[in-house]
Amino acid sequence: MARYEFTYPSILEAEGRMLNDLVRVLARHRMTGLAKQSVLVVMCEAFNNALLHGNKLDPKKKIKVVVTIKKREVTADIIDEGRGGLEKVRKRQPSRKWAESGRGIGIIGHYASSVNFRETERGGLKVSITFEPDDKKILSKC
């Protein structure tokens, strides 16, 4: 089992840094193709939620990303330092046809094998995501 931990400031450029770090981790574990893309897009959606809605681009607040890879099973936690994130997730409405935002949670739900939202002791949001190797959603695309 391999565990990777990264911490980012809440600035726009952090999205690219996180993706670059994740690309390197997945390459190390020979994860390629659409299975890799699924992990990248889900992680990016959760990360951007933390960046924009959790930490509200406050550079003093951090986002912690923990990725664990066991064989081909990937689990990840994305933890922000915001407030009331769980309530925002609960109140979320489906995006309208011409909306310019609000599609991230749907994308996470489509590609992840499981996703869990919890509030941390400090009031931030912890999103835990699992990609299982026998999940047909992912395997069919390898």
Partner 1 sequence: MEIVMKEVGAVVVLHLKGRLDLASGAGLKDEIKALLEKEKNLLHLNLAEVDFINSSGLGVLVSVMKDARLHKGRLTVSNLAAYVQEIFEITQLSHIFEIFATEAEALDSYQSVNAD
- For partner 1, the closer of residues 17 and 70 by Cβ is 17
- For partner 1, the closer of residues 6 and 123 by Cβ is 6
User: Binding residues for partner 1, per CB under 8 A?
Assistant: 12-13, 15-16, 19, 34, 37, 40-41, 44-45, 48, 51-52, 95, 97-104, 106-107, 110
- For partner 1, the closer of residues 16 and 59 by Cβ is 16
Task: Say if CB 26 and CB 39 are below 8 A apart.
Answer: yes
Rounded to a whole number of angstroms, the minimum distance from the CB of residue 14 to partner 1 is 9
* Torsion angle of C-alpha atoms 66, 80, 102, 135, degrees rounded to 10: 20
For 30, left (φ over 0), alpha (ψ -120 to 50), or beta? left
Q: Which residues contact 8 (CB under 8 A, 6 or more apart)?
A: 14, 17, 18, 62, 63, 65
Rounded to a whole number of angstroms, the minimum distance from the CB of residue 22 to partner 1 is 11
Rounded to a whole number of angstroms, the minimum distance from the CB of residue 137 to partner 1 is 11
- For partner 1, the closer of residues 16 and 122 by Cβ is 16
Structure tokens at 53: 């809605």
Rounded to a whole number of angstroms, the minimum distance from the CB of residue 86 to partner 1 is 20
Beta bridge partners of 5: 66
